[in-house]
Structures are given as structure tokens and as C-alpha cells.
Chain A
Amino acid sequence: DVKVTQSSRYLVKRTGEKVFLECVQDMDHENMFWYRQDPGLGLRLIYFSYDVKMKEKGDIPEGYSVSREKKERFSLILESASTNQTSMYLCASSLGTGPTNNEQFFGPGTRLTVL
């Protein structure tokens, strides 16, 4: 089974702090994604990566950056946390883009609160 793990289930940070959220997948997937989940808005894509050291902006990249130095690890960085970044953050990975391998597998999520 694919396993996607995230470094923390709950995190509390203060405004202005630099925050790192880590995601690791164990199935050699090419693609990795970061979403934030807010009530009524569903999941919105922040950044994604198709390969090591590659990154692409999603729909809401402002205030975030990412790093993918190794294939299995994809980090989300909040350079200066703000209260409007309080949310649930979900990481996902997928093997490819074809009709039989485009399923995204999700991690358990990190609930981040910025005070």
C-alpha cells in the first residue's frame, strides 16, 4: 500500500514565524502536491512537483514556497506565518498522469493554527 506521511498532525505557531511542513511518500511516486482544506471551499492546490527540484505554482501559492530535494520528500514552507494561513494542510502523491495511474494518495493532514 502507498503510504504518505506528514510530520505533524497538529501544529501551533505564532504570526511571523517560519513554518516547515514535511511530507514523505514511500512508493517512488513522481508527482507530489500540497493542498489546503477549508470548510466550504474544499481543497485548493498550493504547489505541486513533477520531479526532484521541479515545482509548479497551484491556484493559491502566495505566502508559500516548496522544496523537493529528494523524490520521496516534499516540503511546504510558510515564510512568515499569518493568521489567514490557519488551515488543514494535505499532502498527496501520484505515480503518473495516465488513466490508470493518476490516482492521488493523501496523507493524514496537518492542522496548523497561527496565533
Chain B
Amino acid sequence: AQTVTQSQPEMSVQEAETVTLSCTYDTSESNYYLFWYKQPPSRQMILVIRQEAYKQQNATENRFSVNFQKAAKSFSLKISDSQLGDTAMYFCAHMIKAAGNKLTFGGGTRVLVKP
């Protein structure tokens, strides 16, 4: 079974500073995708960033970037220049290509950006 672990239940960060969320996963597959999703308070879940396992280059989306360490099965998310609108639950997720489109999620990290 695939598992995804987010070891930080909650984190807080000052506005404009940087925060890094950790995620580890367990799989024996070699072809897979990794995702970070964001769920703002009382709002819909949206995709933040996506990484393909066979791509060594770390994905970036504006202020969001990942540190993908395939051998260590680690996929951390860095939020730079944090904004109040970044306050949300963040979920790391894993998708095995051979298993279709199924996502396995971690337990989530609640991020609070303080003014």
C-alpha cells in the first residue's frame, strides 16, 4: 500500500517570510506523480504544484517550489514571501501512473501566516 506522511500538523510563519512543509512517501513504483494541494478555510481544494518522478528538476510555481529527493522519497514544499492568503491546509499527495488517477493523501499541514 502507498503511504504519504506529513510530520508537521501545524506551522506558523510571519508574513513575507519563508516556510517549508515536509512530506515523505512510500512506494515501490518508479513511475509516479507528486502533488501539493491547498485547502483555504471554507474554500475548495486547489492544486499548488505537481512533480513528475522521472523529472529531476524541481518544479516551481511563482512563490511555491519543491525539493524532490527521489532516493529519500521526500517531497517538501517551500512557500517564499508568505502572504496572508497562503493561510490554509496543505496536503501532499501521490499518484502511481500504473494505478490510474488515484491519489493517496497525507494527513495535512495547517499553515497560519501571521501579519
Contact = CB atoms under 8 A, between A and B. Distances in A.
* Most-contacted residue by chain A among B45, B50, B93, B108 (CB, 10 A): B45
A58 interface: yes
A43 interface: yes
B110 to A, nearest CB: 10
Contacts of A31: 100-101
A102 interface: yes
Interface stretch (A15-23, A44-52, A63-71, A72-80): A44-52
B101 A42 contact: no
A112 interface: no
A99 B102 contact: no
Interface in B1-37: 4, 6, 9, 33, 35, 37
Contacts of B35: 103
B44 A107 contact: yes
Interface string A10-49: 0000000000000000000001010100001111110010
A97 B100 contact: yes
A106 interface: yes
Interface in A72-104: 90, 92, 94, 96-97, 99, 102-104
Contact of A97 (B47, B50, B101, B108): B101
B106 A42 contact: yes
Nearest to B46: A106
A61 interface: no
Interface of B: 4, 6, 9, 33, 35, 37, 43-47, 50, 52, 91, 93, 95, 97, 100-108
25 contacts: A31-B100, A33-B101, A42-B6, A42-B105, A43-B105, A45-B102, A45-B103, A48-B102, A50-B101, A56-B100, A90-B45, A97-B97, A99-B33, A99-B52, A102-B50, A102-B101, A103-B47, A103-B50, A104-B103, A106-B44, A106-B45, A106-B46, A107-B44, A108-B43, A109-B44
